[in-house]
Amino acid sequence: DFKYLFSPKQIGSTWVKNRIVSTGHMTNFVKDGLPTEELIFYHRERAKGGVGLITLEANAVHPTAFFTSHTIKAFQDGIIPHYEKLAETVHPHGTKMFVQLFHPGREVYPSGGSLAVSCSAVPTDRFRLIPKELEREEIIDIIKGYAETAERVQKGGLDGVEIVASHGYLISQFWSPRTNLRKDEYGGSFENRLRFLQEIIYRIREKVGSSFTVGLRASVDDFEKKGATFEEVLDNLKYLDQQVGGLDFFNLTGGSSATLMSSSFIAAPSPYPPGHFVAYAAKVKEAVSITVMANGRINDPVMAEKVLASGAVDMVGMTRALIVDPHMPNKAMQEELDRIRYCIGCNQACIGHFQQDLPISCIQNPITGREREYAAMRKTNHVKKIVIVGGGPAGMKAAVVAAERGHKVTLLEKTDELGGQVKLARSIPTREEFGELVSNLRRELTQFRVDIRMNTTADKELILSMNPDEVILATGATPYFPDIEGIELPHVLTAWDVLNRKKAVGQNVVVADWKGDMPGVGTALYLAESGRDVELFTSCYGVGYSLQQYVRDAMLARLHGKHVKMVPHYQLHKIEPSSVTFENIYTGQLVTKADIDHVILATGHIQNTDLYDQLKNHFPNLHRIGDCLSARTAEDAILEGFTLAANL
């Protein structure tokens, strides 16, 4: 049972019904600085699903505090009715809501963020910005902004505030001696560097009184050379707890926005292990008197229960677990663990969408971010017989959703294993968890009683003999071979050949990448980590260009660790028996690599249309989804399967 997970907890003056927290995360459901209806629907769904506490995303406390163009303007009274609406949305479900009081300082996204400001003009390597040094009067005005924003949250009927001092944002810029070079009372000694935060806490308490819940979010370690270490953070938190006072909780995370690598910890992808900040948070808990929360890939209620039972922390942030399955808490409470969809740490549609300026979603759960449209999946009034061909992500998702809606669904798969290209992705180092996507879908196929026929090659006769009302083709794609000299030579392999372990690969290999995505980068990593000498050429703007930033940087770190030579801006030109030539995409300059054993192609995929061509003039209700329409990402394939089946 989940004795600890579902026990209530008092934080300051706020009673939370269980220990599960959706921590602050950007949704991009903000227009003109105000929350949209989509944000209300998004959080309503999670509140309905049983989460105890939601912390609302970054709320700018000052006009200098825009992280992106989608940051909530909480420095004006116009936000109060929106807080009221959020309170009316989550409170009927017994869920409490805190608000993040946020100032990024120098860590602003170049598209839409404020002017970068900080305690000192110390550059951020991630965004390549050198901030303007804040003047004393500006510091005082920003402190006032924190306090007035907290008061607005209180007036709006929400339950508390979380001051964001994590991830290298403004407050931690002040507290680190490496980013705070000031000579006035806000810099220099330990006490001076914490003065900014101390004044924020005191001014907030003056505004909201002692009975409103106020906490702090902090990174346990910035994990970068110029950032705060765990020992420094621990000293800061002890000082705040024991000398400053006024705080009710610490919400502990890790990493810093300051560099590419340290920013990966903001939403660490797989293979960072689940619960990777818990051990740090446990040491903090031993040293302080207030509530301690930990987060960082705690994606499973069983693991969350163990963390809580061990006494390491008081509450667990399970943000991505709730993005992929907002009803996870209720399912866990009802002991329906096999109905939970688990996060695979891919980062593709949650933080990945934020970074692309798109609304939040989830690769596995397209309803996330589309709650307003789809929250209550409608049962069909007209049951159809649907045949789906292809057991990759698109076909599986279409089958699950159609069957969930009440249709009679048969899924035909020609191999003996479901998963399509996901089977390849999971054999890439760092992407092993991607296979969970298939496990999640397989469980749902069983739950909704889809008739799955494995080892079944579909053709026109078979399909027509099944007498379906609708046919959905999700027959996938095959590797694309560019039209260049030597492409047919025997030492030319595809990423599929390698990842399938179907062909022996020699010692000296060159990977030719086209798109900067997982087949090229992942295959190079797989080969390098299995002992080959690898060079990776890409015709793209950068190695891993199409990957979510944290995923890309985690992989690039490992590629560099294996001394893989990476060469951007070169496309395949010619292949000869033991050499390959690339051409610079800008200058046309040629580079030849000699004495190679294999050339590995990661040059895209072409749609498989055989069955479509057979059926298109013989069956009217014919649909194509996923890669057999045009090869894109697993997210696109799943979304297409979902959208089609939701509307049939």
Pairing of strands 9-11, 14-16: antiparallel
DSSP class per residue in 73-141: E-SSGGGHHHHHHHHHHHGGGT-EEEEEEE--TT---TTT----EESS---BTTTTB-PEEPPHHHHHH
Nearer to ligand SF4, 107 or 433 (CB): 433
Distance CA 315, CA 308 (A): 7
User: Can you name the residues that pair with 565 across neighbouring β-strands?
Assistant: 535
Q: Which residue type, as a one-letter code, is found at position 44?
A: R
The 8-class DSSP code of residue 473 comes to E
Which of these ranges, 22-30, 278-286, 341-349, 453-461, lies near ligand SF4 under the rule CB under 6 A?
341-349
Nearer to ligand SF4, 200 or 363 (CB): 363
Cα-Cα-Cα-Cα dihedral of 102, 108, 111, 112, to 10°?
40
206: which residues sit within 8 A by CB, 6+ positions away? 147
Write down the least CB distance from residue 144 to ligand SF4, Å: 36
Nearer to ligand SF4, 300 or 627 (CB): 300
Q: Which one, of 181, 256, 175, 273, lies nearest residue 220 by Cα? A: 256
Write down the least CB distance from residue 358 to ligand SF4, Å: 12
Distance CA 468, CA 484 (A): 43
Nearer to ligand SF4, 348 or 549 (CB): 348
Distance CA 254, CA 550 (A): 14
Which of these ranges, 17-25, 86-94, 361-369, 420-428, lies near ligand SF4 under the rule CB under 6 A?
361-369
Which of these ranges, 222-230, 344-352, 371-379, 499-507, lies near ligand SF4 under the rule CB under 6 A?
344-352
Q: Which one, of 491, 468, 494, 469, lies nearest residue 481 by Cα? A: 494
Nearer to ligand SF4, 19 or 320 (CB): 320
Which of these ranges, 145-153, 229-237, 340-348, 608-616, lies near ligand SF4 under the rule CB under 6 A?
340-348
Q: Which one, of 13, 16, 45, 11, lies nearest residue 29 by Cα? A: 45
Write down the least CB distance from residue 465 to ligand SF4, Å: 38
Query: Is residue 345 near ligand SF4 by the rule CB under 6 A?
Result: yes
Write down the least CB distance from residue 345 to ligand SF4, Å: 5
The 8-class DSSP code of residue 338 comes to G
- E strands, 224-383, are 249-253, 291-294, 315-317
Write down the least CB distance from residue 518 to ligand SF4, Å: 13
Residues 11-40 that bind ligand SF4 (CB under 6 A): none
Query: Is residue 268 near ligand SF4 by the rule CB under 6 A?
Result: no
Distance CA 648, CA 637 (A): 17
Q: Residue-wise over 498-513: b if at least 16 C-beta within 10 A, else e?
A: bbeeeeebeebbbbbb
Which of these ranges, 56-64, 346-354, 423-431, 467-475, lies near ligand SF4 under the rule CB under 6 A?
346-354
Query: Is residue 611 near ligand SF4 by the rule CB under 6 A?
Result: no
Write down the least CB distance from residue 322 to ligand SF4, Å: 8
* Residue among 42, 109, 169, 550 flagged as catalytic: 169
Among 164, 288, 344, 564, binds ligand SF4 (CB under 6 A): 344
Nearer to ligand SF4, 64 or 365 (CB): 365
Nearer to ligand SF4, 363 or 572 (CB): 363
Query: Is residue 363 near ligand SF4 by the rule CB under 6 A?
Result: yes
Pairing of strands 20-22, 315-317: parallel
Which of these ranges, 357-365, 424-432, 555-563, 580-588, lies near ligand SF4 under the rule CB under 6 A?
357-365
Among 51, 362, 498, 512, binds ligand SF4 (CB under 6 A): 362
Residues 286-325 that bind ligand SF4 (CB under 6 A): 320, 323-324
User: Can you name the residues that pair with 409 across neighbouring β-strands?
Assistant: 386
Nearer to ligand SF4, 369 or 519 (CB): 369
Query: Is residue 343 near ligand SF4 by the rule CB under 6 A?
Result: yes
Write down the least CB distance from residue 547 to ligand SF4, Å: 13
DSSP class per residue in 540-603: SSSTTTTS-HHHHHHHHHHHHHTT-EEEESEEEEEEETTEEEEEETTT--EEEE-S-SEEEEE-
Active site residue 480: no
Write down the least CB distance from residue 180 to ligand SF4, Å: 34
| Enzyme catalytic residues | 169
In the complex, the residues that contact ligand SF4 under the rule CB under 6 A are 320, 323-324, 343-350, 362-364
